Amino acid sequence: MAFAVPEFNLTCAIYTGPFDTKGLHRLISPCNLAMGKRIQHYFHDPNQPGFGLGVANLLLPAGTDIRDISQNIASPDIVEVPTSSGRWYVVDTVDDVGKGFSNEYRFAALSKLSSNYGVAATTGLFWPIPMP
């Protein structure tokens, strides 16, 4: 084993997306909201000048049911991390780390979700001030 399974020090609420259907709560899972080795990755939408998001990493126990768009669904999951905090994210991609080994865990790349990012289904969604 070259690495240890992360400590899951938070809980997150996972919803079937999109945001305007967030009543479709699927599960609460232990998790770890991380930024890796403090190396930022950025997404840039060429249709929105100046629009860029830092991607957060959500680490979860192996086999956690969290879904991205690759799974032939209408919209990727949305996640509130920590649970009941008002910090909303959309799931960009999901995969496994250490697949098949005893230290396996699940990884999800997240982007912040807010009305300010121009997504119609998020009308009225703003992160709390101050940010918890």
Q: What does the pLDDT look like over 12-70, one tens digit per residue?
A: 999 987 777 666 889 999 999 987 665 555 554 544 433 445 578 999 999 999 998 88
Instruction: Please check whether residue 45 lies inside any domain of the structure.
Output: yes
Q: What does the pLDDT look like over 76-126, one tens digit per residue?
A: 898 999 999 999 888 888 999 999 999 999 999 888 888 776 666 777 788
Instruction: Please check whether residue 1 lies inside any domain of the structure.
Output: no
Domain containing residue 98: 10-122
Instruction: Please check whether residue 128 lies inside any domain of the structure.
Output: no
Instruction: Please check whether residue 127 lies inside any domain of the structure.
Output: no
Instruction: Please check whether residue 17 lies inside any domain of the structure.
Output: yes
Number of independent structural domains in the chain: 1
CA distance 114 to 101: 37
Instruction: Please check whether residue 64 lies inside any domain of the structure.
Output: yes
Q: If you compute the radius of gyration of the chain from its CA atoms, what whole number of angstroms results?
A: 15
Instruction: Please check whether residue 130 lies inside any domain of the structure.
Output: no
